[in-house]
Amino acid sequence: MKKHFLLLFIGLHLLACSKDSTEPVPAAITTAFGQEFDLRYRQQALLTALQSPELTVKLTDLSYTICPKNSLCFLPDSATPTLAITDAQGQTQQLILGGSHPRPNTSDYLDSASVRANGRRYMVYFTKWRIDGAASAPQQKDFLITLRVAK
């Protein structure tokens, strides 16, 4: 009887710990090369050339540090996005912008990286980030990341 109770107890705990991902994924956007666009957490942008997407950029992860109000912090607020870049053939590569130096939210700071896809080079520019909504305790879904991709 003790074995059955233990199995039932463990089973119920495993079910209780399951992560419910009912939060909706933001709709994909379509943009052109050389234009700035905003992405939210788990949102993707389709960069088109003629009829089909040439590149797809998706914000897959976001690390950030925010100094609480009425606190003294030694480092500025920062955001570090992780992007998944998929080419026209479906090959995906991961790109972390500002990974070694978290990006402060200042206009004079520009982070960029070169990506090779579709047999050519693309430049991905991380221009700024901002919080949309409750600034006191933001979550990943509250951030807007502004990017630009150039051929």
pLDDT (tens digit, 9 = 90+) per residue, 103-144? 555 555 668 899 999 999 999 999 888 888 766 778 888 999
CB 54 within 8 A of CB 62: no
pLDDT tens per residue, range 36-57: 999 999 999 999 876 778 999 9
Neighbours of 91 (CB within 10 A): 10
Residue 5 lies in a domain: no
* Residue 92 vs residues 18, 114, 130: alpha-carbon distances, Å: 28, 14, 26
Quote the pLDDT of residue 71. Answer: 83
Percentage of the chain exceeding pLDDT 90: 39
Q: Is 123 exposed, middle or buried (0-12, 13-18, 19+ CB in 10 A)?
A: middle
- What domain range includes position 50? 26-150
Q: State the CATH number of the domain containing residue 117.
A: 2.60.98
Q: What is the largest CA-CA distance in the chain?
A: 68
Residue 10 lies in a domain: no
Residue 19 lies in a domain: no
Q: What is the pTM of this model?
A: 0.77
- First-to-last alpha carbon distance for the chain, in angstroms, is 67
Domain count, the chain: 1
Residue 6 lies in a domain: no
